[in-house]
Structures are given as C-alpha cells and as structure tokens.
Amino acid sequence: MRLRNKPWAADLIAENPDMILVSPENIASNWQSRFAKEQPIYIEVGSGKGQFITQMAQKYPDRNFIAVEIQESAIAVILQKQVELKLPNLQLLLGNGAALTTFFAENEVAGVYLNFSDPWPKTRHEKRRLTYKSFLAEYQQIMQPTGYLRFKTDNQGLFEYSLVSLNAYGMVFDDISLDLHNSDLAEDNIQTEYEEKFSKRGQVIYRLEAHYK
C-alpha cells in the first residue's frame, strides 16, 4: 500500500546518511562497517512504516537488521523512528527489493523477512510477487547456507502461491502455520502495522519459514 507523499522525506534522508543509504553502489560486503558491532545481518524486504524491523532490532540486540523499502515516504517514517531510537543494530536502505544482489554480497545475509507483501493477484503480475522464482534466486545468492526465509501474509491466495513457488524452487519448509496467532509461535511473534489491523478484524495470518538445500 502506497503512502501519501511526505514533503519532508527527502530532507530527512539527506540529513541522516549514517542511518540510511539510497540505492548504494559500493556497499555490498561492507554492511558490517555501518553497525556498532559485527553481528549476523537480517533484512526485511518491504518494511512499510517499520514497526516490525524496529521492534526486532530492540528485541535482538545481538543481531543487525536492515530495512529495505522502495517507497521514500515509507522509509522516511522508519527513519523518523530511528532518529529517536538510535538503535545501533538498525540500518535503512531506500532501494528496490528486486536488486538485492546489487546491494548485498554473496553469503552476507543470515535471514530474509517478507511481511505482508503486495499479493499482485493478476496473473500477468506474477513476476512482481516477492516469492516468485527470480526473487527466490536473489535471496539465495545473498543468504548464508544456514540462513532462512520467513514470510507472513493475510492473503490466502498469495500464501498458497508461495508454498508452491518455494517448493518448486527446491526449498525446504521448516514451519508452516495456517493460523499464526493461534499457534505456538504467537508468543514470540512481532507484528507489523498491517498485521495488527488485520488480526483485530479476525483475519487469519499465515506464516512459513524455509531454507535452501
């Protein structure tokens, strides 16, 4: 979902180069230099307003996190939070999730999170879905052999598509939940803004975790 334009976004981004990068060309393999400590790196592709990624960074100080977001207005909202929180293990990237191999080196990432991605329901838009095979190839290239992909959505059609897509790619499922909030995983689950809204309406939340062979 596209946010309304934030007139102040560009200025805020320009004022905080230590917290956010804009489509960098020479950052691959150098992300650890942006953090206070060298720790495993986890990225969220499509971070929205950043509730999930900021809370993850606070809950897991022994991990480094990167919010990847293509919308300037959205990542500016995350940046507002980071300017206040100043989390030493959180960095922001304004860039296209389809170009991850440009931003990250091989084996540089320990895990990838996809939360409530655009379902792109029309068949002709299949290649835009973040669980399409070309995206899975991008994640595989930047991910460490022991890394994992975690995916959450409220869209049953996208979830079913993702199960088929990951299986066809040869990925191994570690966990599949057809009702996350009524499962054993609910206690440790950190919600996104959309997740809170959907779950309050009684909408079922789907979740999977998988890794590459």
Active site residues: 118
β-pairing, 206-211 with 143-153? antiparallel
| Element housing 112 (H / E) | strand 109-115
Q: Is residue 114 within a helix (H) or strand (E), and if so which, with residue range?
A: strand 109-115
Q: What share of the chain is helix, strand, coil (3-state, %, to 5)?
A: 40, 25, 35
Residue ranges of alpha helices (H) inside 63-150 are 72-85, 100-103, 133-142
* 176 vs 140: CA distance, rounded Å: 20
State the pairing for strand pair 206-211/172-177.
antiparallel
DSSP state of 64: E
Picking from 155, 154, 157, the residue whose alpha carbon sits closest to that of residue 198 is 154
Please state the φ and ψ torsions of residue 90, each to the nearest 5 degrees: -130, 130
